[in-house]
Chains A and B, each alone.
Chain A
Amino acid sequence: MKLRVERDVLAEAVAWAVRGLSQRPPVPVLAGVLLEATEDGLTLSAFDYEVSAKVTVDADVEEPGTVLVLGRLLADISKSLPHKPIELVSEGSKVQVTCGSAKFSLQSMPTGEYPTLPENPEPTGVIGGDVFTQAVAQVSVAADRGDTLPILTGVRIEVQGNKLTLLATDRYRLAMREVLWNGGDENAEYAALVPARTLDSLAKALGAAGSVSLSLSGASTGSGLAGFEAGQRRMTTRLLDGDYPKVTSLFPTSVDTTAVVETAMLVEAAKRVSLVAERNMPVRLRFGDDAVRIEAGTGEDAQASETFEARIEGPELEIAFSPQFLLDGLGVVGTKYVRLGFTQPTRPAVLSGQDELDGEADDSYRYLIMPVRFAN
């Protein structure tokens, strides 16, 4: 193998490909990044049995070939090289990296032992990168981080023609986002359960620019994979198995009290008062008289409270939430105002976005949050 590549191009591609690599891979070769030089350019691949990442960049290939070198090492090296073209040459069991006056000689690992990367399955639809990134961030925040129920660590993506519904819950909150995509087949109906952590980092990795092709039919086609492509970047991830609980019915059909507040104000206030909330203790909110009062702490310890304007309809209500769960939802709603809907202090509340104080609620994103109950 012999090729020449721009320093920034290589540095960015390697950094992108190895970002998901484990520090302690199950087998040593998985610490590697596979470099394949063909007439189409240079393709870099990384794989950890769960997720595969593959990116092709322009390169001036003199001799095609394939080598496997330590991924993180190559990423560190290319990042530190001067801004000059880089030459990669394989010589026996070594790979020479030359850039200006800098020379590195890397041990190449046996490519024969490297697992075959899964092929990206055929895309089933296309979505804007910005919409996809936001939707994934909005939903994955509610996925379970524990390991008691593996299916809850996933984001369920339901396809109904041109509509995608993303869902995640950890039993304390439930996030649901509906987006439009170009799904081709208008009658298509299928679903995929993608590990939330992977999906979140993958959506960030693919970036918000341009569009993303998704392949979500892996559960029905039997490949067990979901595929994602944005430009020259391609990723696959293993799907989770199992029947996702029917959760959409948890959203209340109607609410009695609604409150519209400025998102940033509620976020700031919740962060401030939660400073005095002991571990696992909630913040308490009271909605009434066109104001929301948020407070935390107990009589025996420090207390904090803050009151600000809110547009409230319906009966007064006092309710308590885990500050983290509340902030998670507020942090991803992405609109200037947030609308909160309640039935009772012991029943879940619905949070959704709203652009104008007097506008309509935007129900494309809904975050259902279960309150904290006091013992007495």
Chain B
Amino acid sequence: MILHIDMDAFYASASLIERPDLLGQPVIVGGAGRGVVLSATYEARRSGVSSGMPMGRARRLCPDAVVLAPDYDLYTQISGSIMHLFSQVTPLVEPISLDEAFLDVGGVCNGPESAAALGHELRDAVADEQGITCSVGVAPMKFVAKLASTSAKPDGLRLVRQDEVLDFLHPLPVEALWGVGASTQEKLHTLGLRTVGDIAHLPQRTLVRSLGQASGTTLHRLAWGHDERRVVPHEPERSIGSDETFGEDLDDPVLIKRHLLKLSDRVAARMRSAEVAGRTVVLKVRFSDFTTITRSRTLSEHTDVSREVYAVAAQLFDALGLQRARIRLVGVRVQGLTDRRLTSRQGKLGEREFGWQEADRAVDRASARFGAGIVRPASLVG
């Protein structure tokens, strides 16, 4: 059996650990000003707030909500403890993101009931140790387990036995299936297919004709509850990034680069505190009309140096050749992370023994002692 465990409103619940006074109130975690909602408590969700929604809209829907800024270090730390807890139960833990994971408990449970019992234990353990709730789906295959945990939300557990899979699956809407995004959903709706059951009962050939070989075959198999994907224990493809939505759209490259510097600084500091270094720098730019582009460049060596991340981000920005286009949001992200202790650095002839890498660490120590932003690039002061 497979467990899918998903934290309930993870960022919001985690942030509330440090603000118990806000328990029971609508709380939204998101960027200040014009950012987007990263997470919201169920109290806020009742007013219609959901993840990914622009903050402005969320505030209008739920004017009483308290808005908190995200604290990624805290989330990473809690996530690490939770994943560690899971790995005590079975080595087959596949983290999907900070707040969800698949566990293959076939080897440690005998039968669906014992898997469900284990699910309850884990839910209690997470609540006890971390003070946040999670929802668990228990099913014989991965995607059904995920759907089961969604249906159990919040703070619940749902067991779907082998002989219940089709009864559980077929009434669900088509978009519940993995791989059905907006465009596939539209195609399915034009074919008059609304539920998973509809897909299952359509001849596979018809489905392949309209969706193509790969996706047609896969959807048909999923609709009959076939999912051979195994739980692959691995480190999640990690990346560290930060976005910023401007108070008002900007078109001045000097100002925009200043924001890129700030974001690069923040991202690199988070990499250093997580003891990782990355090789690929990704720049995200969202224009005033909401079109969003990303550009990336891979370095020859891993880095966690603020200046180097910024240098690449600024190069990528310059390479866009924008003629004062109005920009709403920029983001800097570093991917291809690996354990910093495993990275090496080709020295340069004549370089100082202590370079920017050491300067960054000194800044980190100062920030740890006197508060973030105590030492920062001169162009960001004031």
CB distance from B335 to the nearest CB of A (A): 16
Within 8 Å CB of A247, what residues of B?
349-350
Known A-B contacts A373-B344, A374-B344, A375-B277; the reply to A280 vs B349 at CB < 8 A is no
**Is B342 in contact with A172, judged by CB distance below 8 angstroms?**
no
Most buried by B among A171, A300, A375: A375
Candidates B342, B344, B349; contact of A372 at CB < 8 Å: B344
Interface of A is mostly: loop
Q: Which B residues touch A173, using CB under 8 A?
A: 349
Cβ distance B98 to chain A, nearest Cβ, rounded Å: 23
CB contacts (< 8 Å) of B343 on chain A: these are 374-375
Q: Does B289 contact A (CB under 8 A)?
A: no
Measured in the bound complex, the distance between the Cα atoms of B302 and A282 in whole Å is 13
Shortest Cβ gap from A178 to chain B (Å): 19
> Beta-carbon contacts of B309-341 to A below 8 Å, as 1s and 0s?
000000000000000000000000000000011
A372 near B340 with CB under 8 A, answer no
Query: B346, A172: Cβ atoms under 8 Å?
Result: yes
> Which residues of chain B come closer than 8 Å to A348, judged between CB atoms?
347, 349
Contacts of A298 in B (CB 8 A): 342
B residues 96-135 in Cβ contact with A at 8 Å: none
Smallest CB gap from A376: residue in B: B341
> B300 interface residue, CB < 8 Å from A?
yes
A280 near B301 (CB under 8 angstroms)? yes
- Is B349 in contact with A368, judged by CB distance below 8 angstroms? yes
**A281 x B344 contact (CB < 8 A):** yes
A213 at the interface (CB under 8 A from B): no
- B residues 333-373 near A (Cβ < 8 Å) are 340-350, 353
A102 at interface by CB-CB < 8 Å:
no
Q: B191-208 toward A: CB 8 Å interface, digit per residue (1/0)?
A: 000000000000000000
Interface contact A372-B345, CB-CB below 8 Å: yes
Q: How far is the CA of A57 from the CA of B280 in the complex (A)?
A: 55
Contact B349 A370, beta carbon cutoff 8 Å: yes
Taking the complex as formed, is A250 at the interface, i.e. its CB lies under 8 A from any CB of chain B? yes
Q: Nearest Cβ in chain B — how far from A151, in angstroms?
A: 15
- What are the interface flags for A155-188 relative to B under an 8 Å C-beta threshold, 1 for contact and 0 otherwise? 0000000000000010111100000000000000
A62 to B207, CA, bound (A): 80
Establish whether residues A375 and B349, one from each chain, have CB atoms under 8 Å apart when the complex forms.
no
Q: Is A346 an interface residue (CB 8 A)?
A: yes
A375 touching B348 in the complex, CB below 8 Å, given contacts A280-B300, A280-B301, A346-B353:
no
Interface of B is mostly: mixed
A373/B345 in contact, CB under 8 A: yes
List A contacts of B350 (CB < 8 A).
171, 247, 250
A225 an interface residue at 8 Å Cβ cutoff? no
Chain B residues positioned under 8 Å from A250 (CB to CB): 349-350
> A339-376: which have CB < 8 Å to B?
346, 348, 368, 370-376
Contact between B344 and A320 (Cβ–Cβ < 8 Å)?
Answer: yes
With an 8 A cutoff between CB atoms, is A322 at the interface?
yes
A373 to B340, CA, bound (A): 12
CA distance A172 to B340 in the complex (A): 22
Instruction: Give the complex CA separation of A203 and B343 in angstroms.
Output: 39
A18-65 residues at the B interface, CB under 8 angstroms: none
B339 to chain A, nearest CB (A): 9
Inside 8 A of B353's CB, which chain A residues have their CB?
346
Judge whether B342 and A371 touch: CB under 8 Å: no
| CB proximity of B270 to chain A, nearest CB, Å | 17
Contacting residue for B341 out of A169, A174, A375, CB 8 A: A375
In the complex, are the beta carbons of A169 and B349 less than 8 A apart?
Answer: yes
A280-B300, A346-B353 are contacts. A375–B345 as well, Cβ < 8 Å?
A: yes
B277 proximity list for chain A (CB < 8 A) = 375
A280 contacts across to B, CB distance below 8 A = 300-302, 344, 346
Closest to A368 in B: B349
Cross-chain contact B346 with A372 (CB below 8 angstroms)? yes
Residue of A247, A322, A371, A376 most packed against chain B (CB within 10 A): A376
When the two chains form their complex, are residues A172 and B349 in contact, meaning their CB atoms are under 8 A apart? Answer: yes
Q: How far is the CB of B216 from chain A (nearest CB, A)?
A: 38
Cβ of B169 to closest chain A Cβ, rounded Å: 40
B261 to chain A, nearest CB (A): 21
Known contacts A280-B300, A280-B301, A376-B341; is-contact A371 B347 (Cβ 8 Å): yes
Inside 8 A of B340's CB, which chain A residues have their CB? 375-376
Smallest CB–CB gap between A322 and chain B, Å?
Answer: 6
Q: How far is the CB of A372 from chain B (nearest CB, A)?
A: 5
Distance (whole angstroms) from the CB of A167 to the closest CB of chain B: 12
Residue numbers of A with Cβ under 8 A of B are: 169, 171-174, 247, 250, 280-282, 298, 300, 320, 322, 325, 346, 348, 368, 370-376
List B residues at the A interface (Cβ < 8 Å).
277, 300-302, 340-350, 353
A-B complex: 10 closest residue pairs judged by Cβ atoms: A370-B347, A376-B341, A372-B344, A171-B348, A375-B340, A373-B345, A370-B349, A374-B344, A372-B346, A250-B349
Task: Provide 11 A-B residue pairs closer than 8 Å at the C-beta atoms, listed in order of the A residue.
Answer: A169-B349, A247-B349, A250-B349, A280-B301, A300-B342, A325-B346, A348-B347, A348-B349, A372-B346, A373-B347, A375-B340
**Told that A173-B349, A280-B301, A375-B342 touch, could you supply 8 new A-B pairs with CB distance under 8 A?**
A171-B349, A250-B349, A280-B302, A280-B344, A281-B344, A370-B346, A370-B347, A374-B344
